[in-house]
Amino acid sequence: MNRTAQITRKTKETDITAELSLDGGEVKIDTGIGFLDHMLTALGVHGGFGLVLSAKGDLNVDGHHTAEDVGIVLGMAFKEALGDKSGIARFGSAYIPMDEALGFCALDISARPFLVFDAEFSNERVGEFDTCLTEEFMRAFAFNAGITLHLRAEYGANDHHKIEAMFKALAYALKNAVRKNSDGSVVSTKGVL
């Protein structure tokens, strides 16, 4: 099974193209927001995904449309690459430390999108990235991928570390959830996801 997707989405606010391979490949990100590039690179590298993503957005306004729409496109790519979701482990979770911060993620590739996001940030921005956009990105990603996603910054003092710990926890949880199970079955009592 070819677990790849290519998505292009163009609106009046953003123009985004993403190529995703669940089984590895090049990671190259350019969103125009350095910290978001850093987080998406971490997601690709630590998840073991091939991810080439380019975004042009109305950054003269702020980063909101770009961050949210990148989440939408990445979610759409995961949904397409997973196909009917047969043969995947389905669930994943991870605790990831980043210096003094600890991030947690638990998720279910369920076709029942939901986000529980529990994190508080001390600063409005990390670099050119508004910290509040972390939740907006994660919501857009979860709802477009069809994932039940729980994310938490357990503790930490540095907002960069807290956000990076959550992105890396997401990466490892996704890596576990999309891995192939032993018999290729659909892990559901319903027989479909």
The 10s digit of each residue's pLDDT in 35-87 is 999 999 999 999 999 999 999 999 999 999 999 999 999 999 999 999 999 99
Q: What pLDDT is stored for residue 28 in this prediction?
A: 98
In this prediction, residue 107 has a pLDDT band, given cuts at 50, 70 and 90, of very high
In this prediction, residue 186 has a pLDDT band, given cuts at 50, 70 and 90, of confident
First to last CA, the chain: 17
Q: Which of 79, 69, 70, 67 is closest to 22 using CA atoms?
A: 79
Q: Is the pLDDT of residue 32 over 80?
A: yes
Q: Compute the distance between CA of residue 74 and CA of residue 68 in angstroms, rounded to an integer.
A: 10
Residue listed under structure tokens 């079955």: 185
Q: What pLDDT is stored for residue 167 in this prediction?
A: 99
Q: Is the pLDDT of residue 119 over 90?
A: yes
Residue listed under structure tokens 């961050």: 67
Across all residues in the chain, what is the average pLDDT?
Answer: 96
In this prediction, residue 90 has a pLDDT band, given cuts at 50, 70 and 90, of very high
Q: Indicate the CATH number for domain 4-178.
A: 3.30.230.40
Q: Is the pLDDT of residue 16 over 90?
A: yes
pTM: 0.96
